């Protein structure tokens, strides 16, 4: 089935037991987001809110709330898209098996966008920004936001849909200093195609025309987050994935999606910025208020009976996790095949995606050498950090495994493999004063911080401790040592007033004189604010450790040294993963709102079956 609209998709989900209608009135200020979060945590269905307070439009969320539901939505096209990607990576496969790949060829015919012969968007009516559902997701958010936008721009040098960019860049509809109904905020991060387009328009001193599509077939939403090579239009992918050509037209010089539920058009002028945010984002913290481009609103369109889709992001996993999982299902080995020697790569969702990247490569440089040590994987690591959004990785762990038994998706097993083999004097490589993810506040400034590559390979060097060594319970100034996983101990500092460097020196003085089996089997110490929380689950450990540390500033070591500008340590490595004064606050649920939405989960209410 190829969906021609969002409503058609939602009706299909409802027919197959994947959607619930909420008929009670729900407030878009915090309540709708809270309902969404609770239903998502329960593994519940997609939601259609039919009675939105203060708005004439219905809203829908949790559409992609699980990988299973996402695959169901694209069940008729997914295999053809996978075949097309495989054929791109291995075109000889199509020649060898033309009949087997015939369906993929037919699917490719849907890639070419279809210009609607109707000049004016007669299916739409003009409305204002204030008519849209004003969904406020977290209490400290700066206003209402669009969280599933499809932001469309064209290249000034090569205009037209085939060289356009479609990205999911959040839009702030209200709040701050924006003129109501006349201005909205446009937030985008590093390595986004829209940045290339705005750079070109700025050089010409001309405004960049922007169209924001909301809703439409679900393939359009997924295409906006698809990591396609620069210069390839996401609209072509939308057509293939949706089994239906992307339909569009132009009005007043702006591209309009003929299938979207809503379209906002406007212009971004050179050097015209205003404070945007805060916004509770997908790392689990608020992205704070910063200057970002202002979009001067031209017109706002809405279809008859339009539905406004939204999602809620926060500490992962959330609904956007399904996007990453589905992209992995679709692309398979496409990224490893782009990087010679790379076998597998995993951006860890529990750590916010960009902060932590796990990789498995090959070691083929010196097969004649008696001693196994990192060589090729260091080259691969540099390639990874120079590739698209992979370059935003902050902690990159990489190893090689000739048995092909290791997987980056079995995270604890992967870490144990690394920790058993790491040479702390050799295998830690820093990149200082560089770019990191815009949403990561562990660094020195917006977009600024450091990276570290931990490249461990060779024979097993140690057995990892499986309980807390007694010596850690005897350390003065530190308390509540607990095991996070074999070889990894979490600690709390008893008195914060002395300062981290003094405490590290104190820890060094105590542990550097100890040379026993207990210490040699401990590889990583994590300093944190709440040991019980960090050690409770693997996801807690991943989230705290890798979102709250800036490698160049927050990695220490027992008996650390610098030799020829290379840093290493002879004892355990230490990561200071405590919350620092410059960090953004974590998003938290509002207890009062949680009580208010209980009414929707009691007997007789729409969500009774989930309550």
Domain harbouring 477, CATH code: 3.40.1670.10
Domain boundary among 411, 432, 455: 455
pLDDT for position 514:
62
DSSP H helical ranges for 92-168: 92-96, 102-108
Number of domains into which the chain is organized? 3
Instruction: Say yes or no: 261 and 343 in one domain.
Output: no
Looking at residue 299, its pLDDT comes to 96
Task: For residues 136-143, give the mean pLDDT.
Answer: 97
Query: Is the pLDDT assigned to residue 268 strictly greater than 80?
Result: yes
- Quick one: pLDDT at residue 491? 92
> 94 lies in a domain?
no
Higher pLDDT, 145 or 559: 145
Tokens representing residue 340 in the block: 């010679």
Assess whether 204 and 285 both reside in one domain.
yes
Domain co-membership, 226 together with 141: yes
Higher model confidence: residue 438 or residue 17?
17
3-state DSSP assignment of residue 248: strand
CB proximity list for 203: less than 8 A, separation 6 or greater? none
134 & 228 share domain: yes
At residue 374, the 3 state secondary structure works out as coil
Q: Are residues 151 and 188 in the same domain?
A: yes
Of the listed ranges 408-417, 495-504, 542-551, the one predicted with least confidence: 495-504
Q: What's the whole-number mean pLDDT along residues 117-132? A: 78
Position 350 in a domain: yes
- What is the predicted pLDDT for the residue at 111? 84
Give mean pLDDT, residues 360-374: 84
Decide: 489 and 482 in contact? Cβ < 8 Å.
yes
pLDDT of residue 86: 62
* Residue 15 backbone phi and psi in degrees, to 5: -60, -30
Is this structure's pTM higher than 0.75? yes
List the beta bridge partners of residue 291.
275
Region of poorest pLDDT, from 203-212, 302-311, 426-435, 476-485: 476-485
| Calpha distance 353→347 (Å, rounded) | 5
What is the average pLDDT across 85-102? 45
Of 75-79, 284-288, 307-311, 352-356, the range with the lowest mean pLDDT is 75-79
Q: Could you say which DSSP state residue 402 is in?
A: T
* CA distances to 385, 498, 575 from 539, in Å: 24, 30, 17
Helix orientation angle between 538-547 and 411-421, rounded to the nearest 10 degrees: 60
What percent of the chain has a predicted confidence (pLDDT) above 70?
Answer: 91
What's the pLDDT at 192? 67
Indicate whether 84 belongs to any domain: no
Let me know if residue 557 belongs to a domain: yes
Instruction: Report pLDDT for 127.
Output: 96
Q: How far apart are CA 580 and CA 501, in angstroms?
A: 14
Nearest to 231 by CA among 278, 166, 295, 276: 166
Q: What is the CATH number of the domain that holds 12?
A: 2.30.110.10
174, 238: one domain? yes
> Which of 310, 331, 355 lies at the terminal end of a domain, its last residue?
310
Q: Tell me, what's the pLDDT at 464? A: 96
Q: Are residues 237 and 358 in the same domain?
A: no
Q: What is the mean pLDDT of residues 364-378?
A: 84
Q: Model confidence at 587, in pLDDT bands (50, 70, 90)? A: very high
Residue spans of beta strands (DSSP E) within 425-474: 428-435, 448-455
CB of 261 within 8 A of CB of 6?
Answer: yes
- Asked if residue 374 and residue 407 are part of one domain, the reply reads yes
- Residues 22 and 154 grouped into a single domain: yes
| Portion of the chain with pLDDT greater than 90, in percent | 68
89 belongs to a structural domain: no
pLDDT score recorded for residue 24: 96
Contact 338, 415 (CB under 8 A): no
C-beta of residue 112 within 8 angstroms of C-beta of residue 236: yes
Q: Can you tell me the distance from the alpha carbon of 270 to that of 514, in angstroms, rounded to the nearest whole number? A: 60
499 pLDDT tier (thresholds 50, 70, 90): confident
Across all residues in the chain, what is the average pLDDT? Answer: 89
Residue 98 reports pLDDT greater than 50? no
Predicted pLDDT at 157: 87
Q: Does 34 have pLDDT greater than 80?
A: yes
- Structural domain of 67: 6-73+112-310
Please say if the pLDDT value at position 112 is more than 70: yes
Domain membership flag for residue 63: yes
Question: Over 50: is that where the pLDDT of 99 sits?
Answer: no
Which pLDDT belongs to residue 104?
47
The count of other CB atoms within 10 Å of the CB of residue 369 is 10
Query: Average pLDDT in the 526-554 region?
Result: 97
pLDDT for res 93: 41
Of 335, 426, 413, which is closest to residue 378 (Cα–Cα)? 426
The token pair at 397 is 């762990």
Q: Which phi and psi angles does 257 have, rounded to 5°?
A: -75, 125
Q: Over the stretch 195-225, which tens digit does the pLDDT of each residue have? A: 888 888 888 889 999 999 999 999 999 999 8
Grouping H, G, I as helix, E, B as strand and the rest as coil, residue 337 is: helix
pLDDT at 368: 74
Query: Can you give 46-83 as a three-state secondary structure string?
Result: EEEECCECCCCCEEEECCCCCHHHHHHHCCCCHHHHHH
- 167 plus 286 within the same structural domain: yes
Same domain (yes/no): 223, 346? no
Checking if the pLDDT of 250 tops 80, the result is yes
Judge whether 445 and 457 are in contact, CB under 8 Å: no
Confidence of residue 610 (pLDDT cuts 50, 70, 90): confident
Residue 98 lies in a domain: no
Please check the confidence at residue 92 and state whether its pLDDT lies above 60: no
Q: Which of 310, 343, 361 is the last residue of a domain?
A: 310
pLDDT score for 186: 93
Distance CA 335, CA 343 (A): 9
pLDDT over 80 (residue 241): yes
List the structure tokens of 85: 């990607």
Query: Cα separation of 253 and 208, whole Å?
Result: 11
Q: Report which secondary-structure segment, H or E, holds 85.
A: helix 78-89
Instruction: State whether 282 and 328 are in the same domain.
Output: no
In-domain check, residue 104:
no
């Amino acid at each position: 089935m190829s969906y021609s609209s969002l409503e058609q998709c939602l009706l299909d989900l409802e027919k197959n037991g994947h959607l619930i209608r909420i008929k009670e009135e729900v407030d878009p200020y915090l309540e709708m987001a809270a309902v969404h979060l609770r239903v998502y945590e329960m593994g519940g269905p997609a939601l259609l809110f039919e009675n939105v307070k203060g708005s004439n439009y219905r809203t829908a969320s949790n559409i992609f709330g699980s990988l299973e539901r996402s695959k169901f939505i694209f069940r008729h096209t997914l295999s053809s898209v996978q075949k097309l990607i495989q054929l791109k990576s291995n075109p000889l496969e199509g020649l060898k098996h033309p009949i087997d790949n015939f369906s993929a060829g037919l699917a490719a015919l849907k890639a070419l966008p279809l210009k609607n012969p109707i000049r004016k968007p007669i299916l739409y009516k003009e409305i204002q920004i204030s008519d849209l559902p004003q969904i406020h997701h977290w209490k400290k958010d700066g206003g209402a936001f669009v969280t599933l936008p499809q932001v469309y721009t064209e290249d000034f040098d090569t205009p037209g849909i085939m060289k356009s960019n479609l990205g999911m860049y959040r839009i702030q509809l209200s709040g701050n200093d924006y003129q109501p109904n006349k201005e909205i905020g446009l937030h985008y991060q590093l390595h986004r195609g829209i940045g290339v387009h705005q750079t070109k328009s700025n050089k010409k001193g001309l405004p960049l025309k922007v169209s924001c599509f909301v809703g439409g077939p679900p393939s359009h939403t997924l295409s906006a987050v698809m990591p396609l090579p620069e210069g390839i239009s996401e609209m072509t992918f939308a057509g293939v994935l949706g089994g239906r050509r992307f339909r569009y037209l132009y009005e007043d010089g702006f591209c309009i999606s003929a299938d979207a539920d809503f379209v906002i058009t406007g212009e971004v002028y050179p050097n015209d910025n205003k404070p945007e945010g805060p916004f509770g984002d997908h790392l689990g913290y608020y992205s704070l208020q910063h200057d970002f481009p202002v979009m001067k609103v031209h017109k706002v369109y809405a279809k008859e009976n339009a539905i406004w889709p939204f999602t809620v992001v926060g500490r992962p996993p959330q609904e956007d996790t399904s996007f990453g999982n589905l992209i992995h299902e679709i692309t398979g080995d496409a990224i490893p095949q782009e990087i010679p020697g790379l076998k597998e790569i995993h951006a860890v969702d529990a750590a916010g995606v960009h902060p932590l990247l796990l990789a498995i490569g090959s070691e083929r440089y010196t097969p004649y050498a008696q001693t196994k040590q990192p060589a090729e994987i260091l080259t691969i690591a540099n390639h990874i950090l120079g590739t698209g959004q992979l370059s935003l990785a902050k902690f990159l762990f990489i190893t090689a495994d000739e048995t092909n038994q290791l997987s980056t998706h079995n995270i604890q097993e992967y870490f144990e493999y690394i920790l058993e083999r790491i040479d702390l004097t050799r295998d830690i490589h820093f990149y200082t004063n560089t770019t990191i993810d815009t949403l990561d506040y562990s660094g020195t400034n917006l977009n600024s911080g450091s990276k570290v590559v931990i490249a461990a390979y060779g024979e097993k060097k140690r057995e990892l401790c499986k309980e807390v060594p007694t010596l850690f319970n005897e350390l003065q100034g530190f308390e509540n040592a607990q095991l996070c996983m074999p070889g990894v101990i979490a600690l709390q500092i008893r008195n914060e007033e002395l300062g981290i460097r003094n405490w590290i020196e104190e820890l060094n003085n105590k542990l550097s004189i100890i040379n026993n089996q207990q210490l040699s089997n401990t590889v990583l110490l994590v300093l944190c604010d709440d040991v019980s929380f960090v050690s409770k689950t693997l996801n807690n450990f991943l989230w705290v450790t890798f979102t709250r540390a800036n490698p160049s500033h927050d990695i220490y070591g027992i008996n650390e040294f610098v030799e020829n500008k290379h840093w290493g340590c002879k004892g355990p490595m230490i990561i200071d993963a405590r919350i620092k004064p410059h960090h953004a606050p974590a998003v938290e649920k509002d207890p009062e709102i949680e009580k208010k939405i209980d009414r929707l989960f009691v007997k007789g209410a729409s969500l009774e079956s989930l309550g």
